[in-house]
Amino acid sequence: MALMTGEQYVESIRRMDIKIFMFGERVSSAVDHPILRPSLNSVKATYDLAHKPEYEDLMTVKSHASGKKINRFCHIHQSTDDLVKKVKMQRLCGQKTAACFQRCVGMDAFNAIFSTSFECDKKHGTAYHKNFLAFLREAQENDWTVDGAMTDPKGDRSLSPGKQADPDLYLRIVERRKDGIVVRGAKAHQTGICNSHQVLVMPTISMGPEDKDYAVAFAVPLDAENLFMIIGRQSCDTRKLEGTTLDVGNSEFGGVEGLTIFDNVFVPNERIFLNGETDFSGMLVERFAGYHRQSYGGCKVGVGDVLVGAAALAADYNGANRASHVKDKLIEMVHLNETLYSSGIACSSEGFRTESGNYLVDLLLANVCKQNVTRFPYEITRLAEDIAGGLMVTAPSEKDLRDPKLGPYVEKYLRGVASVSTENRLRILRLIENLTLGTAAVGYRTESMHGAGSPQAQRIMIARQGNIEQKKQLAKDIARIE
């Protein structure tokens, strides 16, 4: 198949028996539930865009493994050009969905495990890279959406995995069999988990020999036995149940997260990519984090483009577009957004070839990129809210607008400039609300803080990669200090 259409993707998820729980009840289908469907639509867009000729160069690529044309989300980066195109593709997808489109984590996990398994095999004589290549070929051939799962609940952050009061607070191997392993635990904050064909699991921190059972990487299908998920709440999520498009803000696209439970899940040997080699857990975490922090220089920028446009339209509709302070705020929003993009492009352009043959981003610049992402979207949203005005959070509902008695009053008193309908003014304000405060805020503002690691995680990596000693020597040389 190699390249599924959007509709083929939807039907492939419909056929799976994914065990999804929300509001205390099992959801019969991720495809048909009104809260979950916008999230599915965001993934569907990555399939639809791949079939548009104008986006072919960004969305598709020739597989290094099979030589076939595949979706770039399933690709192993073969050059710095691939790394750059990845960021450009992510910006495009953000522009088209104004939401999290959910395939980035799997793509970043592919590339991190590809190189790490190669180097682990070289040192330990294992066969993880061979296992992973077989899985990769299958993922590419079937055009799977793969959820990358790294974040464990972690429990008491001051304790290592094996010293937790509950040993399951980090996902672990509870049984080793001749034909595979049995794992137990959970992965938290899993964006798009209910829309995925497979889950690709990785350890969440660097580990020592005492935590051997926690140093595990593997893949299983989302409908595997004893695997289920509990969908997280989001602000304004039940608005999607009301049958309104206006109040939701972004009625077609979205993203949801889940707490994914592995309650004694069996993993066959051929799907294991790390099994107790603690000396490679840190490498895997570091490389995945680098790729994923690079990703935020694309996806968040694309969503930011939509937010800048929405704020500019709100200014037009409010009759404030000529005010100098509004123009200056829009300029600042563009400046901050493009700064994020430049970081994503920079860490891609400075990437390098690993022993395995794929390309890794410049880790220092990738962490600088994500550190900026923990800050700039907050200022961008503040400026958007400033330009939009208070009506963004005080406007009546769409039902009030449509009501025969109340509607005329809403129309009369909430109109801005005469040439723009009240409905269109309210629609753009609801979109800004969605991006800054509502369900999409999880995929933009709040995720900008905690996704791919919270701010301190990047600062630790910046400290490691910053090479202060070299900079001291540069200063000594200039000052002629012996």
Q: Which residues are catalytic?
A: 100, 104, 191, 257, 292, 296, 299, 447
Residue with tokens 């220089």: 297
Contacts of residue 177, Cβ cutoff 8 Å, sequence gap at least 6:
266
How remote is the C-alpha of 80 from its chain's centroid?
A: 21
Which among 175, 199, 171 is positioned nearest to 185, based on CA atoms? 171
How far is Cα 368 from Cα 41, in angstroms, rounded to an integer?
A: 31
Is there a contact between 115 and 358 (Cβ–Cβ < 8 Å)? yes
Helix and strand numbers, DSSP H then E, in the chain: 18, 14
Residues near 450 by Cβ (< 8 Å), separated by ≥ 6? 189
Contact at 8 Å (CB) between 22 and 12?
no
222, 225, 237, 425 from 267: Cα distances, Å: 12, 10, 34, 52
Angle between helices 37-49 and 6-14 (to 10 degrees): 140
